[in-house]
Amino acid sequence: MESGITMSLTNSASPKHFFNAFRAALYDCDASKLQAQLGELFAPDSKIHLAHPLGSMTGPDELFAVGYGPLLEAIPDLERRDFIVVGDGGKAGWIGCGGYYTGVFERPWLKIPATRHIVTMHYVEYFRVEDDRIVEMYALWDIPEVLMQARAWPMSPSLGREMKWPGPATHDGIVVGDYDEGRSTASLDLVNAMLLGLGKHAAEGAEAMGLENYWHPRMNWYGPSGIGSNRRISGFRNWHQIPFLDAMPDRMGRLAEGGQVAYFADGDYVAYCGWPGLDATVSGDGWLGIAASGQEITLCSLDFWRCENGRIRENWVMVDILDVYHQLGVDVLARMEALTVDRQLNPPGL
């Protein structure tokens, strides 16, 4: 019998249907089979980009050697759980996924001390399918979340609330059935208008953004570990937007210039992959506890928005936080290793 994941999408002509095999391989993950499975799913010259410090690579063998292989050594019962799977209607073959990896953290990973407890690591991942092979992958795994669960986060505390991301309130994030062009266009138009409003801040002030015109009064903004999550426009402004804009008032998103990797809608969901998605100068204080160094940085960011009755109600946001620190000359994992030197020498027994 086919698994529930394999059966969850029924349009056999869609890239999402092909992608079920990848989802199934990582849900019932078998370390002895995964490398061969990746070899069947990915093109040999596929371009793969992972979060810092994993970096970029080519082909499924490198993806296994650098990404999934070491992760499986650390979490032998690794399991992938999607709560968002959306596609671009086959226009360019893009698929976006949100969810988390889970399992028992038995051995160190990236020198993060093992806990012997269940661990969760959120992800946002984008894939492009061409001729029944994955040819591109852009993935941000929330490595800081693992550091925090291991009690090994060496940087400033989050201003937002650190929490396990919930899936969509409507439980419809795994979009099935035929592509709805009209509904998708309406969702994309709403997010476009919101992003255009955000861009007015530098010239016209915060009020020009008109957030109330686009966001639901009970909006939830789910941020990456190190930033945290917030509820309502007031929470978003106080615990993310104001510190972010104070630190980088010249920030400039690449979406307006067509610099995104992928940007599409699927029903009520809008998906964005920016690698990088934003350029900025750290000229002020207040974000991530970073000093105003005048350093120019880029941000890799992967997003999903869920629209409801003409407003944005939920937004899942992943940013490569470790890469930001790396650009600023801070090796977070080296600081973590120094912070946990006692546990590095005396790991918990298996």
pLDDT in tens, 30-78: 999 999 999 999 999 999 999 999 999 999 999 999 999 999 999 999 9
Angle at 172 between CA 161 and CA 103, to 5 degrees: 55
The pairing of beta strand 215-222 with beta strand 311-319: parallel
The CB density around residue 219, as the number of other CB atoms within 10 Å, is 22
Least confident range from 40-54, 113-127, 153-167, 254-268: namely: 254-268
Give me the pLDDT at residue 22, please: 95
Write the single-letter amino acid at 254. Answer: R
Q: In the predicted model, is pLDDT for residue 10 greater than 50?
A: no
Residue 206 CB: number of other CB atoms within 10 A?
14
Confirm if 324 and 155 have CB atoms less than 8 A apart.
Answer: no
With a cut of 90, say whether residue 139 has pLDDT above it.
yes
Cα distances from 149 to residues 68, 143, 221, in angstroms, run 20, 10, 21
Buried b (16+ CB within 10 A) or exposed e, 291-315: eeeeeebbbbbbbbbbbbeebbbbb
Taking alpha carbons only, the member of 238, 198, 240 closest to residue 215 is 198
Q: Pick from 23, 4, 274, 15: which is nearest to 138 by CA?
A: 274
pLDDT of residue 200: 64
- Provide the pLDDT for residue 257: 59
User: Domains of the chain (ranges plus CATH)?
Assistant: 4-149 (3.10.450.50), 181-336 (3.10.450.50)
List strand residue ranges (DSSP E) for 189-290, in order: 215-222, 230-231, 252-253, 262-266, 269-282
What's the full length of the chain, in residues?
350
Of the listed ranges 210-219, 229-238, 253-262, the one predicted with least confidence: 253-262
